[in-house]
Structure 1
Amino acid sequence: MAGGKDGVGRDRPESGALRRTLGVRDLVVYGLLFIAPMAPVGVFGALDARSHGAVALVYAVATVAMAFTAFSYALMVRVVPRAGSVFAYARAALGELPGFVAGWMVLLDYLLIPAVAYLFSGIAMEALVPQVDQWVWTAVAVVVTTALNLSGVRVAARAGLAVLVLEIAVLCVFVVSALVALAGGGAERGWLSPLTGDGSSAFSAGAVVAAVSVAVLSYLGFDAIASFAEEVRGDGPRRAGDGAHGVAAEGAERVGRAVLFCLALAGALFVLQTYLAALLTPVSSAALAAEPALQGAAFYAAVDAGVGDWLHDLIAVSKAIGAAFAALAGQAAAGRLLFAMARARRLPAALSAVEARSGVPRRALLLSAVVTLGAAGWASREDSGLGHLVSVVDVGALCAFTLLHASVIGWFAVRRRGPGFGVVRHLVVPLLGMAVTVAVIAKASGTALVAGAVWLAAGLLGYGFRRARRAVGGDG
């Protein structure tokens, strides 16, 4: 299809190009959907136990730690505004092989996080409606969200906005109910305890740092915003007079702002909800540490004790629906990454096709849906499958983040290609970001590290095979 204007004055994509229809609000919707506004619910008990009660402090520190990664994304999307996100950044700044490794490793995140989310959604819905098997709910979630993604990025963003409003509304109900309960009955712990520890164990900076290494995983997903860099509206031609380049430049600015805003908003929501939950929790952090079986439901126990089980059920419904739409955002990001890597001839070229009517990479999205459904099926049949799946996802994302920070250093500090090299912005910040991601990778389970190594080895073999074929065919 030729480039041009459609009936509403928006840019039509050229053949094989994505369609620019998203605004900053849409980007934030995708980011928050992927993260989930109430992501700490499932890990609250474990973090409370590990941090000796200073769980809100853990999330405050984790937000700062992840800000280094968000800042690196904002820097790189402005100079390499491409759909491949970290794949495109590392390829431009570090070379073909590092770029492939970055893209291949982050595929573990974008392909498998939706599998985790779909499985969570099925489990939660089965608990609410036990007459229907979780696999029915999981399949329904896959079909609905895949259909929305295939309908176009704008349609999916609108549906996602409706679900995000629901999730934030439930969070607001929790916040108001918790404040009312605290005003009427007082706090179970000291008012500063979520920031200083509950006193059942001595405050330990080391314990807080150890908990931060787990808490940063709650933020995985905000980076998916950068995958939509080629689908963001911009007013470049009217303001800069330089055609498509102006559109891309302004779109990249919007992506950078959305990444930073999404992380800041998620961090504020995480700190607020964990602060209130800690005040309502009737069990000390030492008791949670002594009885790990209590940790998974600790947030719900706090809600039941402080507010009532009616809110427990409301949060559970919100989490079930929200998980499915977190998978929608993850599937969309995976589709863009597969598309970008195929366009660069690092994956089969068939995945780079863009459907003319919807403007989305249909084949890449369908492949993402098939892989995530298969991964969810495997995890559901293994006793510790879900835990292993989550760990492998974390390793993939954090390896890609490490190469993202290396890309900032490579582009600005080594190649000096960006405007105005700054020691703090382009060297100190990415080095601090790398320190965070490497430290978290070091704490991953042995199984996750082995799985990540196997995935990397498979990718490198495929990369070498494709290069050899192109060399033989004279397509070097």
Structure 2
Amino acid sequence: MQQNGTASPSTGYSQELNRTLTTKDLVIFGLITMLPIAPTQVYASASIESFGMAPLVYLIGMIAMFFTALSYSKMSQAFPIAGSAYSFVQRGMNPHIGFLTGWLIVMDYVIVPGLLVSFSTLWLSVVVPDFPSWLLIVLFVAVMTFVNVRGIEIGKRVNQFFLFGQLTLILIFLICAIKFVFIDGHGAGGFSLTPFWQSDIIDFKFIANAASIAMLGFIGFDAISTLSEETKDPTRTVGKSVVASLVLIGLLFMGQGYMASLAHPDYTNLDADMGYFDIIREVGGDVLYYTFIIAGVIFVGVANALTVQSAISRVLFSMGRDKVIPFSSFLGKIHPKYKTPANASLFVGVLSVFVGLFISLDTLTRLVNFGAMSTYMLLNLSVVTYFFFRKKNRSSVKHIFGYLVFPLIGFSVIGFIWTGFDALTYGIGFSWLFIGFIIILFKSKGFKEVPPALKGI
């Protein structure tokens, strides 16, 4: 890309954001977005649904999502710009389908910060029942918005601190669980393959259900690609970071899930919401139990929400820069001093407060699932469309697998999950898509115009 004020012929945009991020920074960003201590949220329900094989569920989910991660890697190499799947589908498949993809991402990520803050207030009520939830929501949103407006450098340091904190807590839990099982002889009393394999239960239906449970826990790895315009050598580092963060978080999930399964083999008496915390109390006592809850409130309400807000702010900035959404002139501006999409961050912050206060967790979860899965399907198809058909990269076995077979596997796996949503989720999702269709119909003057940056590219 060129310097400020001069549009790059390969992208159509001038370089406005500061390029400071390295591979390590991107991997940390991806890990924080997917949340290393995420089993606190989903382990118990995953264990109940999988007959005690939560670690296997995480493994299946990681493998299933791996193919979509490869698609993100390939598109980020071809189009190293902010916007993630919005930009990739826009340029790899069709500008108008790209807008609808971005519109789905907006539905997905713009509400996630509010969802995460709502989770935090729910957990805090266990420790401080009378704490005013509205105050925590406003406080957490204010902190993450301030950090994101000030710049990616501050966000990078905050992410490093929060990752260190989460990994420290995970290490303490693992040490306590190892002592509890292998030294004290409690729980399973030693190694067991049961959390990974029960031959009388595992079949194709089980694997399919396991994938549908686990994949939702990996939502967020794609956020790395929104930072392409703030990354050094993005064509080389972004794709590698997407895959690396997915594999690392999968290993962290499996490690925690395996030790939790050994510490408490009887999955039938787990509480679906607080079961993992109960296991933490069992192996580490009240101190570790309350520490995990308070840390979970902070890590989910601030750290996790911080990276998600950062990602969606850059998608909104990218769409605003292309003038394809309402309030484009406001959302597409960069802060003159901090070189961040400050207006988009402020918009997401205000919306997050509204979401956290007035929309139920169940409704938010439905919106997130529909938006994420739909986006991933379109992203996989864009790889096939762009590389295999448009660029005709199909002269070798490597090309056929990389640009056709693997993305179609990714599409099929995600498609299977997508077909399992209930009627209300489809109703909300397609209503949102219809609104987006009307917007792009008018913005493009009947699908006749494309964003200026795409002309001649």
TM-score (norm 1): 0.87
- 1:338 corresponds, among 316, 336, 343, to 316
Structure 2 counterparts to residues 4-403 of structure 1, below 5 A: 17-186=16-185, 188-189=187-188, 191-197=192-198, 202-233=201-232, 250-281=233-264, 284-287=266-269, 294-323=271-300, 324-347=302-325, 348-379=328-359, 385-403=360-378
Q: Within 1, Cα distance between the matches of 2:229 and 2:71?
A: 18
Which of 435, 441, 447 is the matching residue for 2:424? 447
In the alignment, residue 91 of structure 1 is paired with which amino acid? Answer: Q
Moved more, 113-122 or 71-80: 113-122
CA distance in 2, matches of 1:401, 1:470: 23
Contact (CA 8 Å) 1:93, 1:408: kept in 2 or not?
A: yes
CA RMSD of aligned residues (A): 2.3
- Offset of residue 53 of structure 1: 1.4
Match of 1:239 in 2: none
* Amino acid paired to 2:382: S
Number of residues of Structure 1 aligned to a counterpart in Structure 2: 435
Measure how far apart 1:278 and its partner are: 0.8
Q: Provide, for residues 147-177 of structure 1, a one-character-per-residue CA deviation record: whole Å limited to 9, x for no partner.
A: 0000001111111211111011101111111
> Which residue is 2:381 aligned to?
406
Check whether the contact 1:16–1:354 (CA below 8 A) recurs between aligned residues.
no
Q: Deviations over 1:168-219 (max 9, x none)?
A: 110111111111111223352471111014x9x8445423431320111111
Q: Deviations over 1:29-77 (max 9, x none)?
A: 2211111001122211211111111111111111000101111000000
Structure 2 residue identity aligned to 1:346: V
CA contact (8 A) 1:398 1:438 kept: yes
- In 2, are the aligned partners of 1:411 and 1:418 still within 8 Å (CA)? no
For 1:191, what is the secondary structure of its paired residue?
Answer: coil
Task: Give, as a single letter, the amino acid of the residue that structure 1 aligns with 2:251.
Answer: A
| 8 Å CA contact retained: 2:388, 2:394 | no
Contact 2:111-2:355 within 8 A present in 1 as well? yes
- Alignment match, 2:391: 416
Change (3 A) 1:119 1:331: same
Work out the CA distance in 1 between the residues paired with 2:227 and 2:395.
26
Which runs of no fewer than 5 residues in structure 2 stay unpaired?
5-12
Distance between the aligned counterparts of 1:26 and 1:285, measured in 2? Answer: 37
Contact 2:116 2:305 (C-alpha < 8 Å) held by counterparts: yes
Q: Is the 8 A contact 1:46 1:295 kept in 2?
A: yes
- SS of equivalent to 1:21: coil
SS of alignment partner, residue 412 of structure 1 = helix
**Take 1:387 and 1:204, find their aligned partners in 2: how far apart are those partners?**
30
Q: CA deviation at 1:412?
A: 0.8
Name the CA distance, whole Å, in 1 between partners of 2:128 and 2:186. Answer: 34
1:458 matches 2:435 = yes
Residue 10 of structure 2 corresponds to none
Distance 2:23 2:310 in 1: 17
CA distance in 2, matches of 1:146, 1:114: 10
- 2:275 is matched by which residue type in structure 1? A
After superposition, give the CA deviation of every residue in 1:116-167 in whole Å (9 maximum; x if it has no partner). 1111222333433344312111111000110000000111111121111101
Partners of 1:70 and 1:259 within 8 A in 2: yes
| Residue 468 of structure 1: how far off its partner (Å) | 2.6
Would you say the 8 A contact 2:180–2:187 is kept in 1? no
Query: Is this contact kept in 2: 1:20–1:232, CA < 8 A?
Result: yes
Which deviations, in whole Å up to 9, do the C-alpha atoms of 1:287-312 show, x marking residues without a partner?
Answer: 55xxxxx2222212222223322221
Provide the C-alpha distance between the structure 1 equivalents of 2:423 and 2:394, rounded to a whole number of angstroms: 42
TM-score normalised by the chain length of structure 2:
0.90
Counterpart-to-counterpart distance in 1, 2:42 and 2:124: 19
Contact 1:125 1:137 in 2 (8 A): no
Q: Percent identity?
A: 28
Deviations 1:54-111 (A, max 9, x none): 1111111110001011110000000011101111111111111111111111112211
Residues 268-321 of structure 1 show CA distances to partners (whole Å, capped at 9, x for unaligned) of: 000000011011115x23455xxxxx2222212222223322221121122111
| 1:446–1:418 distance in 2 versus 1, CA, 3 Å | same
Unpaired segments ≥5 residues, structure 1: 5-13, 234-249, 289-293, 380-384
Residues 151 and 394 from structure 1, CA distance in 2 versus in 1: closer, same or farther, beyond 3 angstroms? same
Letter in 1 for 2:409: L
Distance across 1 between alignment mates of 2:26 and 2:430: 32
Q: Superposition pairs for residues 427-442 of structure 1, below 5 Å?
A: 427-442=404-419
- On the 8 A contact 1:222/1:259 being kept in 2, the answer is yes
Secondary structure of the residue aligned to 1:194 is coil
Amino acid aligned to 2:196: L
Alignment-mate amino acid for residue 385 of structure 2: G
Shift of 1:408: 0.3
State the alpha-carbon separation in 1 of the partners of residues 137 and 216 from structure 2: 23
The C-alpha deviation readout for 1:315-356, integer Å capped at 9, x for no partner, is 112211111211111111111000111112212232111112
2:445 maps to which of 468, 472, 475: 468
CA distance in 1, matches of 2:243, 2:56: 20
Distance 1:417 1:158, change over 3 A: farther
